[in-house]
Chain A
Amino acid sequence: MTTTARETVLRRVQDALARSDRPEVTVPRGYRTGRSLPDGERLALFTDRLVDYKAQVRTCTAGATATVIAEVLRARGARKIGVPPGLDPAWLAGYDGELRTDSPDLPAPRLDALDGVVTASAVSCAETGTIFLDGAAADQGRRALTLVPDLHVCVVDLSSVRTGVPEALARLVPEHPTTLISGPSATSDIELERVEGVHGPRTLEVVIRTDV
């Protein structure tokens, strides 16, 4: 029987390691974990970082969700909106444009014809201004939905905002397809000058609900 590439590579790795001692390593995890900050400080930090990354930020109470979302969509001239199947319909009660509920068989060019998309979020990290979208959650939808349309309105509950990266990552289900977004799409490839908006959404509107 011929040796497979798998066997060869694994044997090479073993041979390589056998050529010297391998002292056991304990990973020092002295970096900051398990941090928490009071609501006000977390909100201020998160907002500061989002704005630094050119995201638009609005805060509101849960009761005002529909009003604020309608305002954002109107201000952006969005008349045709996509939503994930599990999004709370009450959130769009103030919106009078065309509404399209996403489904797996909706092809990308149809998503491209949308003006924008409204979704919830799984968890956020204040220190880096990062929002985590869980692709398996019904109110966040599949990955293409938050990628192709040019405007993403994302609702974040302050209670789901964690202070740092370790605290936020710990809240994820590793096997779910997950997208971390920090501001809108950007590039610095030409003379390192930052340009917002390349292939992903050029506008990110974050609606932070402070009482949820």
Chain B
Amino acid sequence: MPAVPPRSPYGTGHLRGERTFPEAAHDELGNEQLRRNLGRATHSIRAKRLDVTGELPDWEQLRDAGSAIKTDTMNRLPGLLEQLERKVTEHGGTVHWARDGVEANEIVTRLVRRTGSDEVLKVKSMATQEIGLNEHLASQGIAALETDLAELIVQLADDRPSHILVPAIHRNRDEIREIFLRRIPGVDPALGAAPAELAAAARAYLREKFMTAEVAVSGANFGIAETGTLSVVESEGNGRMCLTLPETLITVMGIEKVLPRFQDLEVFLQLLPRSSTGERMNPYTSLWTGVTPGDGPQEFHLVLLDNGRTAALADTIGREALNCIRCSACLNVCPVYERTGGHAYGSTYPGPIGAVLTPQLAGMHAAKDDPNSSLPYASSLCGACFDACPVKIDIPSLLVELRHQHTEQSKTTAEKLAMTAAAAVMKRPKLFTAAQRTAGLGRVLAGRDGTFSRLPPPFQGWSDSRDTPAPPPQSFRSWFASADGAATMRAAAEEGARHTDDDPQEAQ
């Protein structure tokens, strides 16, 4: 069997937090402002999404098509990537390949240096966030300026994004006003906190930058193999500014973002905006193919990024996570995300999909007590994310699979000890019956409501976050063997026989 491709290199980029999810979440839960902001935002976006998806009678067919197109894409990835490369090159673009984030950062730095500029404008992009491009450019003396309003807020506050779609969702208007007053040079001290005023301040600040920028860096929502067309979906026009005005455009795209046909856009341009912002269509979508003489950047570079994506692809179950189109619908319906916010996940990709994608890309056993190994447990497995996903990624099942992989890998965990003990007992019928009788005694120790709120070591990890029901007073085996059990079974058999006599149709 071929080798497993490597994960994103340990210690680089933003695919691993410094603390486990429970530790980080514990602190975030103490932040009432955060919870209020998040609660309001996720509820309003959820309602909007349901409105506009409910409007389409063929929504489920679109989801089926989207899911199948992505699965088909993954199956044919090598050929599609080569086709994309060929088409982009034919239209005057240059394609670069990056094994990981470190290599992608070096490629972008080299390309920016060649333009002679020491400043780049950025379009909001998950891929460049994932590889820590801004930080790398800064270390090389190149200033990267985020132009998406939310990303700008996060950047000016020296903060980290906390949501895939609205990275500053954890900040309210007063906090944002404070950040602008502190960090935007020459801002009017009388600046108000109304969103319209704050947006206008950002417009004024970035306007001059747009007019004079020489180079911009973007991500891509889709890359069409058939035609070499790339696409960025946005609202504010900062994307259009960056994609159109500078002389040089550098686009960093994860290899999983390729789509086979131009026609496939008809599916994703319906699925993405409605799932993401709850709009029928986002205000602006840009489509470009290589270089167009006399219009837009005259130099175009596409950087195709692996950074653990092939490792995810090698996992037949985890492969599904690569279908994600980064709409963030799963974040907005997740009861865990709604309370902890995005920072607790420690990764560029928070929420349910992040809990699956992050360990797939970066691994969860790279170090002792790897924080990523706690991510598969950052879920109640309620299934709301699966229902919301426009490409039908079965996130709960993937989380369960990752939990399984984590338990397999771990030398000793409470669950593993318990399961090993249980397996040994269940193999011996006499021991099993004896154990069940003993377990009945557990009722005596449980509280009046028949639950344990706290288990003894090594099981306290389980009981920290949930109550444990006490074992029933009688095991099934002892009930079955009792006179009461025998009588009930006899009655049930007679009842069944009567139905068969009355209505032969029903019995069939």
Contact = CB atoms under 8 A, between A and B. Distances in A.
Interface in B30-72: 37, 40-41, 44-45, 57-58, 61-62, 64-65, 68-69, 71-72
Contact of A200 (B77, B168, B236): B236
Contacts of B277: 188
A28 B295 contact: no
Contact of A26 (B61, B68, B237, B238): B68
Contacts of A59: none
Interface string A65-97: 000000000000000000000000000000000
B69 A27 contact: yes
Interface in A103-128: 104, 108-109, 112, 125, 127-128
A177 B286 CA distance: 8
A19 B282 contact: no
Contacts of A169: 262-263, 265-266, 269
B78 interface: yes
B148 A165 contact: no
B289 A177 contact: yes
**Most chain B CB inside 10 Å of its own CB: which residue of A33, A142, A143, A169:** A143
B283 interface: yes
A135 B295 contact: yes
Given A190-B195, A191-B195, A25 B262 contact: no
Interface stretch (B96-104, B137-145, B349-357, B492-500): B96-104
Given A5-B99, A13-B255, A14-B78, A192 B44 contact: yes
Nearest to B3: A15
A51 interface: no
A174 B41 contact: no
A130 B71 CA distance: 29
A10 B269 contact: no
Nearest to A168: B266
B54 to A, nearest CB: 14
Interface string B300-317: 000010100011011010
Contact of B284 (A14, A181, A195): A181
A160 interface: no
Interface in A176-206: 176-193, 195, 197-201
Contacts of B176: 190
Contacts of B286: 143, 177-180
Contact of A198 (B71, B149, B153): B149
Contacts of B441: none
Contacts of A175: 91, 227-229, 289
B106 to A, nearest CB: 10
A106 to B, nearest CB: 11
Given A16-B311, A16-B314, A104-B294, A182 B58 contact: no
Contact of B40 (A29, A185, A191): A191
Contacts of A15: 2-5, 310, 314
A199 B241 contact: yes
B266 A180 contact: no
A22 B148 CA distance: 39
B285 interface: yes
Nearest to B289: A175
Given A27-B65, A182-B280, A17 B199 contact: no
Interface string A17-55: 111101011111111110000000000000001000100
B283 A53 contact: yes
Interface residues of A, number: 75
Given A30-B61, A143-B244, A187-B235, A174 B166 contact: no
A25 B199 contact: no
Contacts of A6: 97
B184 interface: no
B81 interface: yes
Interface in B433-466: none
B61 A17 contact: no
A9 interface: yes
Interface residues of B, number: 100
B75 A189 contact: no
B202 interface: yes
Interface string B270-303: 1000000101111111111100101110000000
A81 to B, nearest CB: 19
Contact of B295 (A112, A142, A198): A142
Interface string B194-219: 01101110110011001100000000
Given A185-B236, A187-B149, A189-B166, A195 B195 contact: yes
A135 B291 CA distance: 12
Contact of A33 (B45, B245, B266): B266
B11 to A, nearest CB: 20
A198 B200 CA distance: 7
A197 B281 contact: no
B501 interface: no
Given A18-B2, A136-B292, A177-B288, A10 B237 contact: no
A30 B65 contact: yes
B66 to A, nearest CB: 9
Interface string B153-191: 100000000000010110011001000000000000000
B325 interface: no
Nearest to A127: B280
Contacts of B285: 179-180
B421 interface: no
B150 interface: yes
A28 B68 contact: yes
Given A10-B82, A20-B316, A191-B41, A199 B238 contact: yes
B45 A147 contact: no
Given A109-B211, A195-B195, 8 more contacts: A15-B2, A17-B77, A19-B316, A28-B61, A53-B283, A143-B286, A187-B199, A198-B149
20 contacts: A5-B97, A5-B99, A9-B99, A12-B6, A15-B2, A166-B263, A169-B269, A175-B91, A177-B288, A178-B288, A179-B240, A179-B284, A180-B284, A185-B236, A186-B283, A187-B149, A195-B196, A197-B200, A198-B203, A199-B210
Interface of B: 1-6, 37, 40-41, 44-45, 57-58, 61-62, 64-65, 68-69, 71-72, 74-75, 77-78, 81-82, 91, 96-99, 103, 147-150, 153, 166, 168-169, 172-173, 176, 195-196, 198-200, 202-203, 206-207, 210-211, 224, 226-229, 235-238, 240-241, 243-245, 255, 262-263, 265-267, 269-270, 277, 279-289, 292, 294-296, 304, 306, 310-311, 313-314, 316
